[in-house]
Structure 1
């Protein structure tokens, strides 16, 4: 019986018990404290495989497509788009959403601006840049057209995806890619 295991179980020393308790307290304290940090660095779950997100309002609530499509044709709705940037969605004459959204960031210094329905253009209040309804520069100092984003419906919600193809307004590779 030389190769058999000893039957007596070793007792836990006071030092081992205190080390175990200290480790348990530290782990149970740090674990919940690290959860918000891990949540912050993990991407949102609603991000699609193509990098798209669901359109939200200013408070972060999802916007049903039926709510947007109930507006009159020509209406421009401002939603939180990619990276939280304000993006204009346009209701077309046939009652559908335009296939691209216009990101509300002036290409001069990054100001946000309103849509002026009377002049049928975007007007940046910071330095006077003007853009037409499709985001092309009418008057500077803005050097480039506004960025675009893909818009499509997924169920009753609007998805906004990055635009990486040719710019349909210029026929060239977009400056933001």
Structure 2
């Protein structure tokens, strides 16, 4: 019988140590890349205001003060960036305040944007001829539904826009976009 004992190998060989270090380096690099891509695709949180709304902004993303829009004549429709960046018309009322209802500038036929025609006092979609009354209800098709509306609130000269979740005041029914 042989009374010799085998020498125990070290707990980590050089190859295992290098494999562990290489795997850790790859995992850390991949995690950092995944984090950066996640931050790119998830928009930054915005401080909510009245009713969880967002602040109305101009085309460059700068907040628009209410005093700037209220210098316009009554009946004016000012176009701002609203919820999800959708163009939204804010209306200056006859008493010089902002209407609590904003109208989203997206045709319900095919999603075109359209201008307010002050001469005809209606929104006119240039793509397929849909026309909307000043409150956003359909005056002439092919648009099948009224325009989407949002809630507008002014707090400390900031305009907050939030989703409309109540009954549609034009139809008296649950809004189609909720």
One fold, TM greater than 0.5? yes
Query: What is the TM-score when the length of structure 2 is the normalising length?
Result: 0.81
Kindly state the Cα deviation for residue 34 of structure 1 after the two structures are TM-superposed. 2.0
Kindly state the Cα deviation for residue 151 of structure 1 after the two structures are TM-superposed. 0.6
Match in the other structure for 1:39: 39
Secondary structure (helix, strand or coil) at the match of 1:30 reads: helix
What is the 5 A alignment of 1:17-28?
17-28=17-28
Secondary structure (helix, strand or coil) at the match of 2:60 reads: coil
Q: Distance in 2 between matches of 1:43 and 1:51?
A: 16
Moved more, 109-118 or 68-77: 68-77
Q: Distance in 2 between matches of 1:83 and 1:110?
A: 15
Question: Are the structure 2 counterparts of residues 158 and 23 from structure 1 closer, same or farther at C-alpha, using a change threshold of 3 Å?
Answer: farther
Question: Which segments of 5 or more consecutive residues in structure 2 lack a partner in the other structure?
Answer: 1-9
Q: Distance in 1 between matches of 2:104 and 2:20?
A: 55
Is 1:30 equivalent to 2:26 in the alignment? no
Query: What is the TM-score when the length of structure 1 is the normalising length?
Result: 0.81
Question: Are the structure 2 counterparts of residues 44 and 154 from structure 1 closer, same or farther at C-alpha, using a change threshold of 3 Å?
Answer: farther
Match in the other structure for 2:159: 158
Q: Distance in 1 between matches of 2:37 and 2:17?
A: 31
Q: Distance in 2 between matches of 1:18 and 1:68?
A: 65
Match in the other structure for 1:108: 109
Match in the other structure for 1:3: none
Secondary structure (helix, strand or coil) at the match of 2:39 reads: helix
Q: Distance in 2 between matches of 1:55 and 1:171?
A: 27
Match in the other structure for 1:149: 150
CA shift digits 1:91-117 (9 cap, x unpaired): 112221110100111112211100011
Question: Which segments of 5 or more consecutive residues in structure 1 lack a partner in the other structure?
Answer: 1-9
Q: How many residues align?
A: 168
CA shift digits 1:146-167 (9 cap, x unpaired): 1100011233321111111111
Kindly state the Cα deviation for residue 175 of structure 1 after the two structures are TM-superposed. 1.7
Q: Distance in 2 between matches of 1:62 and 1:21?
A: 49
